[in-house]
Structure 1
Amino acid sequence: MDSLLLTKGIFPRDFLNKTADYILSVQLEDGSIPWFTDGKLDPWDHTEAAMGLSITGHYPEAEKAYDWLRQQQLEDGSWFANYQDGKPLYSDKRETNFVAYVATGVWHHYLITQDTAFLEKNWSMVNSAIQFVLRQQSPTGEIYWAVMEQGQPEKDALITGCSSVLKSLECAILIAEALNKNVEPWHEAWQQLGQALKYHPENFDRTWESKDRFSMDWFYPILAGVFRGQEARDRLQKFWDKFVRKDMGCVCVSDQPWVTIAESCELTMALLAAGEKKKATQLYSWLHNWRDSDGGYWTGYQYAEDVIWPEEKTAWTAGAILLAADALTEHTAASRLFLESSLNIRPEVELPETEEALAAVNN
């Protein structure tokens, strides 16, 4: 198949059920979902694949994935960055956006199933994960990207990672509200993080080279609700030609000839969030060139060499395909999760420029 044009109310169930079956073929008996058979996993991608299972009605298997996370959670609320065969692969770091993403997955599953018992069962896990992440928030609002083996944070932040955390924190707040839990400090933490992302790009990439070559830094703030409406459309238009390759998809990095399917799915949702449905539909229609006969999708395509690279079909790519399809067709009650935000970033208060102005404010 060269293309697949989706619209509201028409979810190609038979076509995409095969993609869910691919995720199921990778999932282990303990509930963990590695990248591919005999591969490693990380908590973020494990959750992305589980969300694909929820969309396609595989509720017990999705819940088993969250059971695995609950069982593996460390005492401080975190998870290691990588696991192999259901066990930690390295213990050198714990990445904050990986830890926070469980809240997005749990809320997503609840939106589809309306199973309050599922929320209650996983509240302690979500609460502990978010508490861990917020302990890594800097005084200027951004979330440090990782905590190293000895417990010290790496004091720099990523735009993409913090955008993902912002969405996860919003989902955690919604979970708390559904369960009548008081998490008022989380609201202020969300505001501080949102303001850092919107108004203070200098807070990110301070100790390494800028990540603005990466397409996710371009569109993830839109998925997180940092930029909306015309602001979001202007942002997408500004760098469209830098990152999008016609009839193929979105590149991972602007200076490399490598289209990646998961990023293209996420850009599809960012376009929908910005009201660019025609572009979203067209972009998503290109991605099925990279579908294999078993329903899985190759991670990427290197167009300069005209080769699939790497030669792997990741379960999280399949999850992203299903999330974008749901967003395009509004198939489930979670279809708008990444298209809108229930919270609003406050306008930044500008500091007075003169001593006289400062005195006026204080008086």
Structure 2
Amino acid sequence: MSSLGRTEHLVLPGVLTAEQAAQTVAGILAVQREDGAIPWFRGHHLDPWDHTETAMALDAAGEHEAAARAYAWLAAHQNADGSWCAAYQDGADGVDTGRPADRGRESNFCAYIAVGVWHHYLATGDDAFIDRMWPTVFAAIEFVLALQQPGGEIGWKREAPEDGGEAVNDALLTGSSSIYQALRCALAIAGQREEPQPDWELAAGALGHAVRSHPERFLDKNHYSMDWYYPVLGGALTGQAAKARIEERWHDFVVPRLGVRCVLPNPWVTGGESCELALALWAMGESDRALEILQSIQHLRAENGMYWTGYVFQDKAVWPVEQTTWTAGSLLLAVAALGGDEATTAVFGGERLPAGLEPDCCR
């Protein structure tokens, strides 16, 4: 742990002690490369969304310098059109993680930097950081909004340049819900800089309306748990609508004492989905159930403080046999929210985030 690290607010009964939290943070830091990149694990690839989520976990643990290096990596590897590639290799030399492994550009991957940058700013109050990252965030959001469809939903990717670079206009509910949160954070960044972005406000309003009211505008992926809880996690659904959505499929996806299924009907619970559901529950005001979910997945904790990605309960087997930084990161973020970490609660609670402007038809 660096001298900046702090884990006292990451203590949660039945989930983490202070020593366990410190061990998990140290495990993530051990995977982070010197250039700031955070691959899934050593020898595997990096993707921009999970890289950002894990950087947010480092900030929640007080490792602000490490998180800042992660954002500097993103700024240094942004494509000219404002995007990032979907995946980057973990370099064989142990340092260079800038070689693309998948040159497609996924919209939610590109938008999520806004969530991370706003979270880092709230955690540090570093005005120079937000000024430095503004051009990166601005270009990323402009890339993403170029994929917005007339109904408000966001097309999920642009093909790799060598494959023609065509826009894929089909929209994913999970991805668009994540982009809704990112747009609100981008608007918060713009507001902090006193550079209003009225087009972004309109885009966020149209996207939120699509997520809330028009499931037919998205590809049918309702056998994935992320499509179930992400409209709540991303902040598009709140209050009674959020609670009704979670209750509707609780017994489909939640396996008591084991966690949350990733996809039906597979007998496979995953740590990342479980922690994200816990965050969504916390945002709904159901901290007790969030705590139960986090407690239920401690069977995924490895001796080194990292977390296995998932568990096939039918076979009583860990699978895949990998300990991913983003699984550990999602756990730390969920614990930080329940522990009252101000930056994390602000980003996932949403009360202080701009909501965007609803389309005229819906006001």
Please report the TM-score for the alignment, with normalisation by the length of structure 2: 0.90
CA distance in 2, matches of 1:124, 1:347: 27
> Alignment partner for residue 146 of structure 2, among 135, 156, 159?
135
> Alignment partner for residue 21 of structure 2, among 2, 16, 19?
16
Do the aligned residues in 2 keep the contact of 1:248 with 1:286 (CA within 8 Å)?
Answer: yes
CA distance in 2, matches of 1:175, 1:282: 34
1:97 corresponds to: 108
Structure with greater Cα Rg = 1
SS at match of 2:343: coil
Q: Kindly, what percent of the aligned residue pairs are identical?
A: 43
Matched, 1:180 2:190: no
Gaps of 5+ in 1: 352-363
Structure number with higher relative contact order (C-alpha < 8 Å, ≥ 6 residues apart)? 1
Deviations 1:298-321 (A, max 9, x none): 000000000000000000111101
CA distance in 2, matches of 1:133, 1:229: 28
Do the aligned residues in 2 keep the contact of 1:54 with 1:112 (CA within 8 Å)?
Answer: yes
Paired residues in the alignment total 342
1:257 corresponds to: 267
**What is the CA-CA distance between 1:65 and the residue it aligns to?**
0.5
1:112-151 mapped onto 2 (5 Å cutoff): 112-149=123-160, 150-151=164-165
**What is the CA-CA distance between 1:48 and the residue it aligns to?**
0.9
> Alignment partner for residue 286 of structure 1, among 265, 285, 296?
296
**What is the CA-CA distance between 1:89 and the residue it aligns to?**
3.0
SS at match of 1:31: coil
Matched, 1:301 2:311: yes
2:182 corresponds to: 168
> Alignment partner for residue 79 of structure 1, among 70, 75, 84?
84
1:238 corresponds to: 248
Deviations 1:27-60 (A, max 9, x none): 1111100000111010001111111111111111
SS at match of 1:34: coil
**What is the CA-CA distance between 1:348 and the residue it aligns to?**
6.7
Deviations 1:150-209 (A, max 9, x none): 22111100000000001001000000101111211100000011111111111111xxxx
1:41 corresponds to: 46
Deviations 1:217-252 (A, max 9, x none): 000000111111111111111100000000011010
> Alignment partner for residue 286 of structure 2, among 268, 276, 287?
276
SS at match of 1:301: strand
Do the aligned residues in 2 keep the contact of 1:54 with 1:109 (CA within 8 Å)?
Answer: yes
Gaps of 5+ in 2: 1-9, 92-96
CA distance in 1, matches of 2:38, 2:110: 16
CA RMSD of aligned residues (A): 1.9
Matched, 1:192 2:206: yes
1:6 corresponds to: 12
**Letter of the structure 2 residue corresponding to residue 257 of structure 1:** P
Please report the TM-score for the alignment, with normalisation by the length of structure 1: 0.90
CA distance in 2, matches of 1:230, 1:300: 31
**What is the CA-CA distance between 1:14 and the residue it aligns to?**
2.5
Matched, 1:318 2:328: yes
Cα distance change of structure 1 residues 152 and 114 upon mapping to structure 2, 3 Å threshold: same
CA distance in 1, matches of 2:311, 2:177: 26
SS at match of 2:105: strand
CA distance in 2, matches of 1:52, 1:284: 16
CA distance in 1, matches of 2:268, 2:11: 23
